[in-house]
Structure 1
Amino acid sequence: MARVSASQRERAAEGRVWPVVAALVISALLGTLIGWLFLSRGSGSGDSPATDSKRAERELVSPQPPSQTKNSEPRQQLLNRLRALQVNRTWFLRLVDSSWLSRFPERGGRLPSASIDDGPLRQVWDDLSEEWLARVEQLPPAIRARLGQLDNQDWDKQKQILIQQDVHPRVIQALVTAAARTVLPGDVSAGPVEEPYRQLWIAAAIETLKGISIDTIAARSVEVTTRSLRVSSGGARLIAVTVPVGSSLVLGINGTPLMEMTVFGSDGQVLAARGPLRVVSLPPEAGSPVQVLVVNDGVASGVLTLSCRADAPPQPQMVQQPDVDAPEMNEAEESDFDPME
C-alpha cells in the first residue's frame, strides 16, 4: 500500500505541474503576439528625435559599394565630430542638405546617391558639411547643444531690454543680422532667415545681445563732439546720438576701409543705407536719438572716430519797415477841398 500511495502521489504531482507549464507557455505566446502587434502599430507613427537621429546616422553610414568605401570615411568622421560637439545630428544634416540643394536647384530636391556618377556631388556635400561645422564650432557649447530647439522666446528678453533703452526693433534686427555674419553666409543672411538657418541666427542674437552696451553721444549746437570707439573683428557697434529738438545733425565717421555704417532715425527708418564710412547731414525730422550701426568686416579690430554737430534751425529775421510820413497839406489845399463837390 505504501508503494501504491507513493506512485499515486507522484502522478498527482505530475498532474499539477502540467497545467502550470501549459499556462506559462500560453502566456509567453500571448505576450509575444501582443508585443508584435504593438510594435507593428508603432512603426507607422512618428519617430522620436532620438530615433530620427539614429536613422540619419544609419543612412549617413549605410553600406556602400567597395568603390565608395573611401567616401564613407569622412561621413563617419563627421558623425564623430557632431557627437563630440553635442550637436543635433538631425538638424545639422538638414542644414547641409538645404545648403546643398540651394546650389543644385536643377536636381529638383534630389540629394546625391551612392552611385559613381554622383561622386563629385557627394564631395560638394562633404565640403559644405565641413564649412557649416566650422561655423557651428564658433558657438558656445551651451548654445551648440540647443541648436534645432531654439525659438524667438530665447532672445526676446534681451530684445525687450534694448527696446526700453529707446532702441527701435528694426535697429535690433539689423544689429543681430550684422553679428550673424560670422555663422551665416552672405547669401543666407541677406534676406529673411528661415529654418534650418534661423537656428544660427537666433544663436547669434543670444550671443550678441548678451550684456551689450550702447554708446551714447550728445550732439551740441555749434560745437563739434568727437568720440573714438573700437570695433572688434567681425563685430558691430551701436551708437545713439541725441539731438536737440528741432535741430539738424551733421554726422561724420572715419575708420578702416573694411568698416561700414548704417544710420537709423528715432522711428527705425533708414536714413543712410549701409555703405562706407562717410559724412551725412540729417534733417530735424530724423528725431532723437539717431542710431548708428557700424560693422567691421576686417580680420582685426579697428578704431572708428565719430564727429557730430547739431545745427539749430535758422531764426526768421524781422525786417523793419521804414516810417513813411503822410504828406502835409497846406492851408490853401485844405480850403479848396470841398467834400460835397
Structure 2
Amino acid sequence: MAEGNHSTVIEFILAGLTDKPELQLPLFLLFLGIYVLTVLGNLGMITLIGLSSHLQTPMYYLLSSLSFIDLCQSTVITPKMLVNFVTEKNTISYAACMTQLYFFIVFAIAECHMLAAMAYDRYVAICNPLLYNVSMSNPVCSGLLVGVYSMGLIGSTAHTACMLRVVFCKTIINHYLCDLFPLLELSCSSTFINEVVVMCLSAFNIFAPVLSIFSSYILIIASILRIRSTEGRAKAFSTCSSHILAVALFFGSLAFIYLKPSSVSSLNHGKVSSVFYTIIVPMLNPLIYSLRNKDVKIALNKLLDRHSLPWKRVFCFGKKL
C-alpha cells in the first residue's frame, strides 16, 4: 500500500449479495440476463438516436445521455458482481475498490441530475411549447449536460478524497460493490467528517433534483388538466406515471441508503435497495423513457426498413424471375 494512504489494507473481500451456495448460480444467470438486456437496451437507444435524424432534438439528446449513464453505471458494478457469484473468495484491490467507488458515485449523482434535466425539458415542452426552441436550444441543452456531469465529478471527488483518508482495519465489505457506508463500517479511525460529507452532499444531490422534478410535474399536471380531450389527458398522465414510477424507484432506494445515519442503517437491506438503482433501473429506463415512445418506435421501424430494403429488392427480383 502506498504510504500516503495510511492504511495497512491492500485488498478487500466483497461479501456479495448472498452467502447461500444454492442461490449463487440462479442469481448469476438472473443478473447476467439483466446485464445483457441493459447493455443491448441502452446501447441500442444511443445508436438509434445517433442514426435517426428524426430524433435529433433536445429531448432525445437527454435520453441518449441517460442511456450512456445507465450503461456506464451498470458496467462499473455488474461484471464484478457476476464474478462474485462464481468464485469462492471475491477479492478486490484497494486501488480497484477506490476506482469503483469513484465512478459509481459519478454516475449515480449524474443520473439524479439528469432525471431533473429531463423533467425540466418536459415542463418546457408541455407548459411553454412556443418557447421550447429558445428555452431548450443547443447551447442550453449542452449547458445542462455539462452541469449534470460536473455535479457527478465534483461530488464523487469529494467523497473519494474523504475515503482515502480513512484507516481500514477490516477487509470484508458487506456488499457486492465498494459503496460508502459499507466501507466506513470497516474503519478503525474517526469517520465523522466522512459521514457529514455524505449527509450534506447526498441531501443536496437527492433533494435538489427531487424538488426540481416535483415542481416540474406540478406545473405539468396543471397544464394537462386544462386539456379538453379525455384521450389526450389519459395519454399524458400515462406517460407521466411511468416517469414518476422510475424516479420513485431510483430516488426512493437512494434515500433509504444515504439519508439516514449509518448506525441505524441495515447494510443487508441496503444491498437489496442498491439493486434497484444500480441494476434494475438501468435496465428499465430504455423501456420506460424510450421504447414506449411513439417517435422512437417510428424511428426504429424506419431504420429497420432502411437496412432490410436490399433484401426486399433481392426477394422481389427473384419472384419476378
After TM superposition, is the score higher than 0.5? no
Higher RCO (CA < 8 A, seq sep 6+): 2
Bigger helix share: 2
Q: Which has the larger radius of gyration?
A: 1
Place the TM-score, normalised by the shorter chain, in its bin.
under 0.3
Structure 2 length-normalised TM: 0.26
